[in-house]
Amino acid sequence: MSQQAFGIDKGNAFNDAHLGNIQSIHQIRLYEGWLLDGFEVTYVLENGSTRVANHLGTATPNAIVTFADDEVLVALTGKTTLPGYFNNDRYLNSVSFVILNTKTGGVRVAGPFGQGGPSGSYTGRAFSIAGEIKAFSGLQLTQSGSPSNALTLTFPCDQVVTVGH
């Protein structure tokens, strides 16, 4: 299955699906600044236990999204590239999570997280992902220099709905 990457596309690869039989996401703790530097995801496994996947690099979380038992992640939107910064490379700089309550049918959006979302002056490349997301995969870059941490997320091409210019 082919994948599409959103972010700088450098660093150590990860695929949280290898943690076991994942039932749902319980919590996402992330570090947001100029970029979405990294995140830590707590997964609930089918046997009821939890597993944590840490993709924070050297960052400490400054934002938390907690999922209720009846909630699932059904979409994700974001932006890459901060024009004029970081050599105009396609760093992941904004992400929002679309969460569905399977009991009530209600939808909520957590985010945007990162500089690229709340500010209209950052006209990066927008993208959206549709379909239930049970586990994340991508690349985590940790380096000396600026930026010290950077996250790239990858998704199956059939979940990529839109990609802006």
- Domain residue ranges in the chain: 3-163
121: pLDDT strictly greater than 70: no
- Burial of 84 from C-beta contacts in 10 A (0-12 / 13-18 / 19+): exposed
- Domain covering 3-163: architecture: Aligned Prism (2.100)
Asked whether the beta carbons of 103 and 125 are under 8 A apart, the reply is: no
The pTM of this model reads 0.90
Average pLDDT of span 28-47: 92
What does R_g of the chain's alpha carbons equal in angstroms? 15
The pLDDT value given to residue 1: 66
Tens digits of residue pLDDT in 50-108: 999 999 888 889 999 999 999 999 999 998 876 667 777 788 988 999 999 999 999 99
